[in-house]
Amino acid sequence: MEERVNRPGRSPLVRVVDRLDERFRVRALWKSIAEHEVPAHVNWMYCLGGITFFLFGVQAITGIIMAFYYKPHPELAYQSVQFIVYKLPLGWLIRTMHRWAANGMVLMVILHMLRVFFTGSYKKPRQLNWVVGVFLFVITFAFAITGFLLPWDQQAYWGTSELLKVVQGTPLIGPVLAGILRGGAMVGAVTLRRFFALHVWALPASIIILLGIHFVVVRRQGISGPL
Ligand code: HEM
């Protein structure tokens, strides 16, 4: 291996790959992914999880770009979104992609879950991935709900106020949960800050960890067999 890494005349990129290969065996990993055989029964419905993941990628990239300009403060939030849409070059495109991909991700995660359910793929030995999936499902909706408030316009404000009343009505945990999320008697500055922190820190961190588990388990167990 040392010999290959130090061989003269190799491009810098190949040398970087060689170094990575030496440490993490990236070539072998890539080979095992690229040459992995897809069973004959796997059809387009088995792509729904992958599409959900692709849309999550779109959300992450467009979300990070918007986070450079968004200001989670009641007096600045609305203007900062207006800035992104009307002043920032291609800002309108970034924001529109974020909105469409958000809706798409919610739709795709529902369809993916239905595929898993109707093909019985939640059964032994895949119970763990079903449970992880339920958390992923809740997190996807939490992303949508927390993101909905951030533009801080009339729809966001009153929609969230009503939604928190629904949360409050949940038996046992409702009043405490709604109180924590709202952070006061009414939706206000604290609510906005909390929703922002959830949307850009807590939820992304949780989804990345859970997706890691989800994919490792799928890879170890292989995709479920035909019906
Ligand atoms: C962010 C959300 C999610 C992403 C990105 C995701 C991604 C994936 C991918 C790429 C696969 C392999 C290919 C496929 O079956 O489509 C998969 C499999 C699986 N997912 Fe998800 N998933 C998500 C949410 C869920 C949910 C909500 C559930 C169920 C509650 C779930 C349960 C499963 C199970 C049981 C498998 C194994 C299926 C099999 O072996 O046939 N996932 N997921």
Q: Tell me how crowded residue 164 is: count the other CB atoms within 10 A of its CB.
A: 21
What integer pLDDT is reported at residue 7 of this predicted model?
Answer: 64
| Residue 147 to residue 103: CA distance in whole angstroms | 11
Asked if residue 139 and residue 107 are part of one domain, the reply reads yes
The CA R_g of the chain, rounded to the nearest whole Å, is 22
Atom of ligand 1 nearest to the CA of 207: 1
For residue 24, the enclosing domain spans 1-36
Determine, yes or no, domain membership for 73: yes
Check whether residue 60 and residue 119 sit in a common domain. Answer: yes
Question: What is the end-to-end Cα distance of the chain in Å, rounded?
Answer: 46
Does 204 contact ligand 1 (Cβ within 6 A)? no
Cα torsion for 35, 41, 44, 47, to the nearest 10°? -50
**Residue 8: cis peptide before it, omega within 30 degrees of 0:** no
pLDDT of residue 6: 58
How many residues appear in the chain? 227
DSSP sequence for 109-159: HHHHHHHHHHTTTTSTT-HHHHHHHHHHHHHHHHHHHHHHHTT-SHHHHHH
The atom of ligand 1 lying closest to the CA of 139 is: 1
Q: Which residues contact 121 (CB under 8 A, 6 or more apart)?
A: 115, 223, 224
Protein residue with its CA nearest to atom 12 in ligand 1? 49
| Residue 9 sits in the same domain as residue 55 | no
What is the structure's pLDDT at 8? Answer: 66
Q: Which residue minimizes the CA distance to atom 9 of ligand 1?
A: 49
Query: Considering the entire predicted model, what is its pTM?
Result: 0.91
pLDDT at 218: 96
Closest CA to 149 of 139, 137, 160: 160
User: Which pLDDT score is estimated for 4?
Assistant: 56
Look up residue 41 and give its two tokens. Answer: 């029964």
Predicted pLDDT at 36? 86
Atom of ligand 1 nearest to the CA of 210: 1
pLDDT at 9: 73
Would the CB of 59 count as within 6 Å of ligand 1? Answer: no
**Domain tally, the chain:** 2
105 with 213, same domain: the answer is yes
Per-residue pLDDT, 119: 97
pLDDT tens figures, 147-197: 999 999 999 999 999 999 999 999 999 999 999 999 999 999 999 999 999
Whether residue 122 is contained in a domain is answered as: yes
Q: Are residues 168 and 127 in the same domain?
A: yes
| Residue ranges in the chain whose pLDDT is less than 50 | none
Residue nearest to atom 16 of ligand 1 (CA): 49
